[in-house]
Amino acid sequence: MEQKDIIIIGAGPAGLSAAIYTARGGASTLVLGCNPKVAGEYVIDNYFGFPKPITGKELIQRGIEQAKKFGAEIKCEKVLSIHFSNQNTFLVKTETNQYESKAIILATGVTRVRPGIDNLKDYEGKGVSYCVSCDGFFYKNKKVAVLGEGVFAANQALELTEYTKQITIFTQGKKPSFSQEFAKKLESFKIPVRKDKIISLKGNKGLEQIVLENGDIEPLDGLFIAMGEASSLDFAYTLGLTRKGVFIEADFEQKTNIPGVFAAGDCVGRFLQISVAVGEGAIAGKSALNYIKTLTKS
């Protein structure tokens, strides 16, 4: 397995800025992320130092070049999960690879994928979960479903096979976008994939039934939400990071409550602007460098 000092999740302004600091500071740095939304033909009019507006695409391209110049490696790979290893390091799984690092910087931006289930909130912690490695255990031999259409959902469903055989994936009306490898794995575990939309949940003390758009009502004990790609929130659930609503809590050094995990940019939810993301990325990079130095001393 490839090992790095620091893995940065996200190749937007926050992640690239962090990479410039960590790579320039001598840490082996891997950035995992693809083109951020802002990297289009949008004109950025308010970023310091560009009196003539620059496009988001060019700004990001320049950031990539600069991070690479200092030795950062940048790969367009979607991260599916982050777990602790027994060696006090982090194991990062993507659609195609696994990596190990001493520190993690989360710079994933914000996610806006909503499942569109009316009363989802009422059942959070009472049958609705966002984290298989946290809650899968409570559903031993029970009937569960994963909500999502992509590799992230497929991976969550496969993790659930440790606990139960009664697993279904609901894509919420979307076309499944699993890679061939994951589609084959789902088949081998006999996990059905259904396009039906779940519109509401039922149950007195906790989740007991799901109501589908076609009016059908079906029994269900547990529903795991994994829409779109894994977000900083999903990583927060697994790693036990404190959150404020949909954002990750980080202090003025961009440290989260878990040693070795830092967060920067939109996923922290302060002022959602490039300048702030770049500034927080720099601080997160410096803090991560300081953190790995303390590991070598001890």
Q: Both tokens of residue 117?
A: 């289930």
Residue 116's region, left for phi above 0, alpha for psi from -120 to 50, else beta, is left
Q: Which is nearer to ligand FAD, 31 or 207 (CB)?
A: 31
Give the whole-angstrom CA distance, residue 292 versus residue 74: 20
What residue ranges bind ligand FAD (CB under 6 A)?
Answer: 9-15, 32-34, 36-38, 42, 44-46, 78-79, 107-109, 229-231, 265-266, 272-275, 277
Nearest approach in angstroms of CB 151 to ligand FAD is: 10
Q: How far is CA 67 from CA 49, 50, 87, 266, in A?
A: 19, 20, 28, 20
- With helix as H, strand as E and coil as C, how does 27-77 read? CCEEEECCCCCCCCCCEECCCCCCCCCEEHHHHHHHHHHHHHHCCCEEECC
Q: Which is nearer to ligand FAD, 41 or 297 (CB)?
A: 41
Q: Which is nearer to ligand FAD, 145 or 230 (CB)?
A: 230
Gap between the terminal Cα atoms of the chain: 24
Q: Which is nearer to ligand FAD, 45 or 213 (CB)?
A: 45
Nearest approach in angstroms of CB 297 to ligand FAD is: 31
Which value, in Å, is the radius of gyration of the alpha carbons in the chain?
Answer: 20
With contact defined as beta carbons under 8 Å apart, do 226 and 171 qualify? Answer: no
Q: Which is nearer to ligand FAD, 10 or 148 (CB)?
A: 10
Nearest approach in angstroms of CB 253 to ligand FAD is: 17
Nearest approach in angstroms of CB 7 to ligand FAD is: 10
Nearest approach in angstroms of CB 49 to ligand FAD is: 13
Q: Which is nearer to ligand FAD, 221 or 280 (CB)?
A: 280
Nearest approach in angstroms of CB 74 to ligand FAD is: 10
Residue 20's region, left for phi above 0, alpha for psi from -120 to 50, else beta, is alpha
Nearest approach in angstroms of CB 196 to ligand FAD is: 25
Q: Which is nearer to ligand FAD, 198 or 274 (CB)?
A: 274
Q: Which residue carries 């993507």 as its tokens? A: 94
What angle is formed at CA 283 by the lines to CA 279 and CA 287, rounded to 5 degrees? Answer: 170
